[in-house]
Structure 1
Amino acid sequence: MLYFATELILVFLSLLSLVETSDICHKPNWNNNNANGKRLPEFPIKIFEKIGPQSCYRECQAHGNCFSVNWDRNQFTCQLIDKKKNQLKPLIDDVNFVYMEMTDTVGAGGKLCGDVICNNYSTCIRISSEKMTCIETDCAEHYPVLKNGVVLERTFSPISATYGCSPGFTSVGSGNRITCRPGGKWSALSYRCEPPVNGVWGSWYGWGSCSVTCGGGTKHRTRSCDNPLPMYGGSSCSGSSVVSTTCITIGCPVNGVWGSWYGWGSCSATCGGGAKHRTRSCDNPLPMYGGSSCSGSSVVSTTCNTIGCPEVNGGWGFWGEWGNCQRTTTCGGGVRIRIRLCDNPRPMYGGSSCIGTSEIFTTCNTDRCSGNIFLANSNVHNKGIVYVYRNGYWGTVCDDNFDMEDAHVVCKSLGFIRATAVHPSATLGEGSGLILMDDVNCAGTEGSIFDCSYITNHNCGHHEDVGVTCQ
C-alpha cells in the first residue's frame, strides 16, 4: 500500500515536471509540419490574440477538436482549425501567416507509451529512466459543440469549459460552464444561444361595429405582434396595430316616386287589332339607401289598329339543298331528299296554304356493290363497321376474338395495304340487320375473311359490332 502511494506521488510529480517542459506540449516539427507564408483557408474554431507560435501550438493541443493552426506573425494572432490540409483543401499563399499541423494528435488507435498504447484522453509521462505510464488528463469525449456559441475559456486543472454566445445571439440559461473528471464525460450544458427573433404581425382581428347606422361612419380592426413575438433582441413589428375604414356610406332611406308617363309606342299590328304600350320610371326620385320602390305598374297597354286585315295566300319558297344519301354505304342504292317551305309569303288572315308537295326524292349511290364486304357508318372510305354478304344477306361481324390479324385480311380484301386499328364494342356505332360472323380467327395471309375460321351461331348483339381502320 505504501509502495503504491509512493509511485502515485512520483507519477504526479513527473506530470508536473513535464508541464514545465516541452515533453507534454511538443514543439512543432518545423521541418515537416509547418509552412511559412501559407495558411489553410478554413474558418477558425477559436482565435487567440497576442500569442506566440509555441503557445498557439499548445492551445491547439489543449483544445478538444484542433488539428492545425494559422499563426499571424505580424499581428501575433492564433487561429485554431479543426481540419488539416489535403488535396481538396490545399494551403494558399499569405506572407503574414505560418501554418502548423499537430504532430501528436491522437487518432482512434491512441499513441504508444512505452509498451502500452495511451487512449486519446491520456498523457504519456516518464516516471523513471526506463518506465513510462499513461495518466488520464482530459475528458473521454470532445467538449460539446454549442450551436451559435463558442468556448470562451478552457481549463485543465480542474477540467472545465466556459461557453459564450457568438455576436448577435442571446444567451438563455445560466449554466454556461461545464466540468469533467479525467477520463469521464462532460456535465450537462444547460445553456443555449438563440438568434434574434423579429416580431411578425398576426392576422387581423374582425372588424368592429360601425359608428353609425346610415350616412357614413367608421369601423376599426386590430392585430397583435405575436406571430411570433419579438424575442432575443429581435425587432418589434413595424407599422400600425390598428386600421380603420369607412362603413355604411349609403345615405338614409329615400322612397321612390313615379315620374311622368312616356309617349305611346308603335302598334304591334297594322290591321286586325294590335297593342301599344307606354311606360313610366320610378325616378322622381329613385328609391335609395333601402327606401321602398314605387307601387303600381310601370307599363300600361291599349288596343290599336282594330280594322280587319285582307287575306294573304301562302307561296312556296325556294327548294333547299339535297340532303345526304340515306344509305350509309357508297353502293347498292339509296335515297336523298330536299324540301321547300310555304313562307313566301306565309298564309295569313285566313288566306289559303300552298298547293303541292314540300318534299321531293331522288336516288343515290346506285352503283352495284363489288365483292362481299364493305365498311359503313363513317364519312371516310378507309374506316367503318365491317359488313359482309353471306347467303343473300348483308350483316355485321361480332368483335369476339377479333384482332389485328383479322383486320389485316379485311383491309387487304378491300384493296388497302394493311389495318391500323380495330374498333370493338360498336365504337363506330351499332350496325343493323343480321350478325353473320362470330369468333373470326385469321392467320393474316388469307385473301378474304371468308377463308378464315369463324362461326355463324353467335351470342352477340349489335353493341359488339366490330370496325376497322385501313391504310
Structure 2
Amino acid sequence: MQRQGHLQGLAFLLLTVIVNAQDTPQLRLVDGGSRCAGRVEILHQHSWGTVCDYSWDLKDAHVVCRQIGCGEALNAVPGAFFGEGSGPIWLDDMKCTGKESYVWKCPSLGWGQHYCTHKLDAGVICSGFVRLDGGHGPCSGKVKVNSGEGWTPVSDGNFTLPTAQVICAELGCGKAASVLGNLPFREDSEQVWAEEFQCEGLEPELWFCPRVPCPRGTCHHRGAVQVVCSGYIDVRLMKNGISQCEGQVEMKTSGGWRTLCASHWNMANANVVCHQLGCGVAISTPKGAYFVERGDEIWRDRFHCSGSESFLWNCPVTALGVPACAHGNTASVVCSGNQTQLLPPCNDSWSDPAGSAASEGHTANCSDSRQLRLVDGDSHYTGRVEILQQGSWGSICDDSWDLNDAHVVCRQLGCGVALEATISGHFGEGSGPIWLDEVNCTGEEAHVWQCPSQGWRQHNCSHKEDAGVICSGKIFTGSADQRVSIFGAPLTCHICVIHPFLGPVR
C-alpha cells in the first residue's frame, strides 16, 4: 500500500509538471519578415493572441526583444503595423519598466481584459542578437552580441568559420570571406561574451547555435574576432540553361542570380571558379561565348584573384566607380572538368630528399624524421591531423585548436591556407598515441610540432577530441624546367620535398 501510494504521488507530480508546462505562456513575433520583428503574439490557454497598443512604448518592446533573444528594441510599433492578428487580445495598457523577464509580468489590465480591436495590435522591431561593428558597413566588423543589456564583443577563442557563415547568412551578407582574431578590444577591461558558439554552419541564426559557457565565466582569447562577409552567396557556370563545368559565370547575391562582366576577367579568376566548383583547372576564358539574354543588368564587380583563393568571394573586388558593361560582354570559363594535375595532390606519397620512407596520407618531412598527414577527409586537403613520431602515427587533441594551428598544418603540407580548424573528432576518431595537446601556434611556425604545447604525449584527452583541418588546397602545373604556377607567377620553393618529375616542390 505504501509503495502504491508513493507511485500515485509521483504520477500526480508528473501530471502537475506537464500541466504547468502546457500552461506556461509563450511569446513570438510574426509577419515581420524575420524572427526579431513583427506583431507580438502570446500563447496562453492554448490560444495565440495579441497585445493592444494602448500605452505601448520602448520599455514594453525592450522586454519582448530581450525575452526572445533579439537584443534591444529599436521601435515599438502600434496600429497593427505588421497586420491584424486573430484570436484573443490577451493584454492591454502595458506599463513595463523594461527590466521584467517576461512581458506578461509587466503591469497591465490582466489576462483578456482590454478595450481594443485587432486594428490596434502592437508590434516591435528589435536590433537582433548579433551584429558586425566598426567595419565598412553592416557586413564586416567585430562580432558583437546583445542579451538585451547592450552590445558585448565576442572573443576569438575557438571561434570557427561555420559560426562566421551563420552570422553572414543571418545578416543577409552572403558568405564569410575571412575571420580575423587577436584584435584589440576597445578597453582592456571591456566585458567579453561569456559563451563559446559551436555552430555547425547550417543554423538559421546565431541564436540557435549550440553554446558552451566559458569556465568561470571567462573565455580564453587573444582578442576580439572580426568577420568580413562577401555579400555573395554562390557561383555557377551556365551552358544551355544547365549548370556545368563550362559556361557563363553567374553570381548569386541576395538579389538573385546575375551574370558577371568580362571586363578584367582573367585566368586567375577562372581558376578559382573551376576549383571552387570541383571542375579542375581553367582552360580558357572565352568572352561572351555562352551569352544568354536574361534582361538583367550585367554585374559590374571586378574580381582581382591571385588564383590561390578557395572561393571567388575571397578575392579582392572593386565595386565602386566601375563603368557599365557592354551588352553581351559576359565572363565565361571552360574548366578541365576534372582534378588531374601533373603535380600529385598533397595526400599522395612524396619521396623525401633525405631518403626516409614516405608515408601514406598528405606527408611532408622537412626538419627531422617526424612526418605529418591528413586522413579520413573527403578531399586531398581535409582530414584528421596525424603525426608520425617514434615510429607511431598519432593524433592531436583539439583543446585550444584554432585557425592559427590549422594554418601551420596546411602550409606545412603545401595545401594552401586553413579554411577551418575542426574539433571533436570531426573526421572520425584516430588510434594510437595522442601526441600533442593545447597546441598554441602563432601561425608563423614551419612545423606544427614547433608550436607551444603541453609537450609530447602530455594530454588529458581521448580520441573523441581529435583535431582536424580543412585547407584551401593548392594546384600547380608546369614542366620540370619551368616550375611555373598555373596562375602565371613563378613558383619560388622552400625545398621540403622533391617530386621525382617536377623537382623542388613547396
Which structure has the highest strand share of the two? 1
- Higher RCO (Cα < 8 Å, 6 or more apart): 2
Which structure has the highest helix share of the two? 2
**Which of structures 1 and 2 has the bigger CA Rg?**
1
TM-score strictly above 0.5: no
